[in-house]
Each structure stands twice: as structure tokens, then as C-alpha cells.
Amino acid sequence: MKWQIEKKIIAGGFGLAMLILGAVNINSYRNTTQLFERQKRVEQTYEVLQEVKDVLTTLRDAERARRGYIITGKDFYLGTYNQAIQEINAKFYLVRRSTADNPNHQYKLDLIKPLIDQRVALIQKSVELYKQNPSDRQIQIELTDEGIALHDKISQVIYEIETEEKLLLQRRAAASEASFRDAVRMKIVGFAISFGLLLTVYLLLLAQIKKRQLSEEKFRQMAENIDEVFWISDVKLKTLLYVNPAYEKILGRDCESLYANQKSFLEAVHPEDKARVRANLEQNATKEYEIEYRIVRPDGAIRWICDRCFPIQNSAGEVYRRTGISQDITERKRAEEIRRNLEKERELGELKLRFFSMASHEFRTPLSTILISAQLLENSSPNWTPEKKLKNLHRIQSAAKTMTQLLTDILTLTRAESGKLEFKPEHLDLDKFCTDLVEEVELSYRAQQSIFFISHCPGKNVYIDEKMLRSILSNLLSNAVKYSREDSHIYFTLDCESNSVIFEIQDQGIGISTADQENLFESFHRGQNVGDVPGTGLGLAVVKKCVDLHGGSITVESKVGVGTTFTVTLPLTNCPVLTGVI
């Protein structure tokens, strides 16, 4: 705020000084012009005085020539006489023209013009009479006396004109002198004020320069002692204005190379991050941004950098510079990696604990069934019918199959996550396979629901991995049984196309919420509405792994409280992996 006020004072002082100097110069020019004009008028006054004297002198010349002619009778005097008579009117006209701006002079000239004409007429008359009668002296004396009287009148008027012109000359000279003194005084005062203002402006500028130098020194000390790279450049990154020594410490490259080519720092950027960093520089030339990337130091060490850039605007609001801070965040990245690993280990531990808890619960039910059925068979009475014994035997077999399926899911998921699950397709009768699978599910889960198998491609033999297909369909069917009402219907539909086979399993169960559908195929994930229904959360994860290995796809449509439909599409030819791992 203070600098803004001082800027206004400096600008105002400088402008006022220039204004005063301009006014002084304009006034000086005006005074000089007036001085020249007055000088011209003074000269004009002198000319008028001289012209008036010339008129009187010419009259005297004419009179002297007349007298010389009358006294001597020599024609020599007639030449002077004639010349004087001819010049009188011309010289009188000059006086009238020179005093045209003075009405008083014009009035007096009007008075003496008849007198001059009379005087000239008397002189001419005297000469003519002398030529006629040279001996008539009396008439010449009379004419001379009359001429002297006229001459005195003319002299008196001319004297008055001369007196006025001399007074006018004095006034004009005094005015010129006063004007000159005023001009000199104005110049002195104006230059003094301007000098004072300019001196004040200079002192303010000097103070600001010192303050700025002090501020720059403080900035330099601060910038050169921080651990982060601080830099300033033009908006197009063509000219580097400043970079602190931390650049050499963090990137291991000298600052001079960066001053020579501002984009040379890209040479230090990790090859995998270089395109991203370059694109960020081009796209955010006038925007604030933050980006993290890796650099490779000359010694081969890889460091992580966090670069934050801020645009700088001028008074017009246009971005004309960039400034930024580049921070070495390698240690922070390492700490984050350690924290993530610890978090993963913690989550893995929780998942393992959860898995063992669920697995033990899942194993407990079939094991209990096997144990009870075996005890019943061991302690059976002789009265038991073969059918009753066979029923307990079937229970043992069903429980064993359930445990086998659970172990299969665990092994399948473990092998898939370790990349050792192999895809081994073989020829398979789909109708027979699906029919047998439905019977196994009904028997294993003692399903109270009605499972309807609908085949639209009877007798279809395909080239597919039977074990993976069993994992896919058995998990989907078992889920449909577990999460559906006992009196509901389950529809298992088989469709065949030219290059693919489609399995659709539709139930009338509890449904899956939209939120749960986002994580449906993740390991150990179970819906929020499953209640007390037992499960490990592995089945759909196994299904997704097997479908992906087949190069197929799986979709789900579900509505809570209405039911769920899973659609699995598997290609029959051009499988992406015939013998491989996932």
C-alpha cells in the first residue's frame, strides 16, 4: 500500500514538474514574442520620428534652394528645389502610413497637410515671380515672411507628433524591460520549483531502489537457503529469470545449463514420465497445477519430485510469467509405499482371518453332516431298511461334494491369483453336462426350489474347459439356491450362437443392491442383505477369474427383493489362450 502511494507521489511530482517546465517555456516563448513585437514597435517609432524629420527637412531643403536661387539667380539651385518639391508628398505619405494605427497622429497630419501644401505653393510662387521679375524684392520679402509663419506652424505640429512618439517610445521601452524582467523571474521560479520536484522524485526513487535492493537481497537469501527448487520464468518457458541453488542439489545438474535451455530439465525426467510432464507443461501454460514425477540423477539415483506451478499476472490481468516450487518427495513416497504395504498386510491378515472363519464355518456344516450320518450308520439297528441306510450314505456323499466344491473354489482362486491357473479346453456335450450339474446342485444343497434347465441347442458339442465351466455354473447355481425362497423357481437357460455359447441363470431371490454390484466380483465381498446365509465371498470371484480366462464376459441384472439374472458368454473359437496361465 505504501509503495502504491509513493508511486502516485512520484508520478504526480514528475508530471507537475514537467507541467511547470512546460508552462515556463510557453510563458517564455510568449514573452519573447511580445519582446520582439515591442522591439518592432520601438523601431517603428524611431522610423516615424525619422520620417517626420524627413518631411520637415525636405521643406527646409526646398526653402534653402529657393533662397539660393533668388539671391544668386543660379539655375543650380533649381535642381535641388525641384527634387525637394517632388519628394515632399511621398515623404508625407510615408508618415501617414506609419502612423495609421494612431488616430491622434492622423488628426494632426490632417492639420498640417494644408499648411504643407500652402508652404509648397508659396515656394513655387516665389520662384515663378522671381523668374518673371527678378528685381521685385518686396514681394519676395513678403512671401518669405509668410513662408516663415507657415513653417513655424508646421514645425509646431511636427514637434507635437515627435513628442508623442518619444513618449510612446519610452512606454514601449519600459514595457519591454518589465516583460523581460517578468520572464526572467518566471524562469527562475519555475526552474526552482521544477528542480525541487525533480529532486524529491529522485530521492523517492532512490529510496525505493534501496528498498527494492534490500527486498531482493532478503528474497535471495531466503530462496537460496530453502531445500526446494524455486524458479521464475516467462510464460512460454523460453527465458529463465531465476533458479535457486537447490536445483543443483536435487537434480544433480548445474544451473547454467538450465539458464541456457530452460527445458533441459526434461532430460532428467524419468523416460516413463517424460511424455506426461511435457504434456502438462503445454496444457497448463497459464494455469496453476501440481504434478508428481520421477527424475534420474547423473549418478543413476531415481528421485520423486512434486512440482507446483503458479501463473503471475500483470496489471492488465494477463499471465506473463510462471513461478514454481519443485520439492524432493522421495522420502514421502517411500513412507507412503511402506504405509501401503503395511495396510495391504493388515488387510491381507484380516482377509485371511475372515477367510479361515468363513471356511471353518462352511466346512463345519458338511463335516457335521458326515459325522452324524456316519454315527447313525454305525449305530443303526437291524430294523433299518436299505433305503434308510442309503439315504444317510447319500448325505455323506453330498456333504463330501460340498467340501470338495469349497476346496475347489479356494484352490482355483489361489492358483488364479498366483498366475498358475491353466486353461485346458476339451470337447464337451453341453446338454448332458448342464443336466448332470443341475442334479448335483439339487442333491448337494437339497434344493427346495425348482430348477428348470432350458436348452436351445440340444446335442451341442463344444471345445471348452470343463473344470472351469463347472466352477462357473456350480457357483452361480448354488448362489441362486442359497439366496432364493424355498418355493421359488430358478431358470437355467442355454443358448448357442455361431461363435459363442450363452448361459443365463435367473432366480427369484433377495437380489443385489446397486452399491454391492460395484464390488460384486471381488474376493470375500458379500452383499449387505445376505443376512445369516452362510458363504465365503469367493464364489463370484472364482466365476470372474474363469470367465476372463475363457476370454468371455459376465453381466448381472438385479433388483432387490425381485431377483437376479447372471449372463455368461463364452467364445467357442479363437480363444485368447489355449494353453496358458492367468
For residue 110, being part of any structural domain is answered with yes
Do residues 65 and 182 both lie within one domain? yes
Do residues 123 and 30 both lie within one domain? yes
Q: Which three cell numbers stand for residue 44?
A: 517603428
More confidently predicted of 176 and 88: 88
Do residues 559 and 484 both lie within one domain? yes
Do residues 178 and 266 both lie within one domain? no
Which one-letter amino acid corresponds to residue 576? P
The last residue of one of the domains, among 181, 201, 221, is 201
Do residues 535 and 482 both lie within one domain? yes
Q: Which three cell numbers stand for residue 405?
A: 466344491
For residue 244, being part of any structural domain is answered with yes
How does pLDDT run across 559-581, given as a tens digit for each residue? 888 899 999 999 985 444 433 33
**Residue 141, pLDDT above cutoff 50:** yes
Do residues 165 and 84 both lie within one domain? yes
Dihedral angle over CA of 299, 303, 308, 314, nearest 10: 0
The last residue of one of the domains, among 302, 328, 354, is 328
pLDDT given at position 581: 39
**Spatial separation of the C-alpha atoms in residues 256 and 247, rounded to whole Å:** 11
Do residues 113 and 13 both lie within one domain? yes
More confidently predicted of 71 and 429: 429
CATH number at residue 546: 3.30.565.10
CATH number at residue 250: 3.30.450.20
Q: Which residue range(s) make up the domain with 46?
A: 2-201
| Whether the Cβ atoms of residue 474 and residue 437 lie closer than 8 Å to each other | yes
DSSP state of 508: -
How does pLDDT run across 287-338, given as a tens digit for each residue? 888 898 898 988 888 999 898 888 888 878 888 888 888 888 888 888 988 9
Confidence bin at 535 (pLDDT 50/70/90): low
The DSSP element (H or E) to which 289 belongs, if any, is: strand 289-296
**Spatial separation of the C-alpha atoms in residues 467 and 155, rounded to whole Å:** 154
- How many domains are there within the chain? 3
Q: Give the three-state DSSP class for 486.
A: coil
Confidence bin at 35 (pLDDT 50/70/90): low
For residue 454, being part of any structural domain is answered with yes
For residue 439, being part of any structural domain is answered with yes
Do residues 495 and 533 both lie within one domain? yes
For residue 58, being part of any structural domain is answered with yes
For residue 374, being part of any structural domain is answered with no
Q: What is the mean pLDDT of residues 537-562?
A: 86
**For cell 507446483, what's the residue?**
308
| Whether the Cβ atoms of residue 461 and residue 430 lie closer than 8 Å to each other | yes
Q: Which three cell numbers stand for residue 70?
A: 533668388
For residue 223, being part of any structural domain is answered with no
Q: Mean pLDDT in the chain?
A: 77
Do residues 299 and 432 both lie within one domain? no
Do residues 241 and 196 both lie within one domain? no
Do residues 317 and 433 both lie within one domain? no
| Whether the Cβ atoms of residue 62 and residue 123 lie closer than 8 Å to each other | yes
Tell whether pTM > 0.85: no
For residue 451, being part of any structural domain is answered with yes
pLDDT given at position 553: 93
The last residue of one of the domains, among 274, 302, 328, is 328
**Spatial separation of the C-alpha atoms in residues 423 and 467, rounded to whole Å:** 9
Long-range contacts, stretch 139-147, CB < 8 angstroms, 24+ apart: 140/70, 144/67, 146/122, 147/63, 147/119, 147/122, 147/123
Dihedral pair phi/psi, residue 568, rounded to 5°: -115, 125
Do residues 129 and 245 both lie within one domain? no
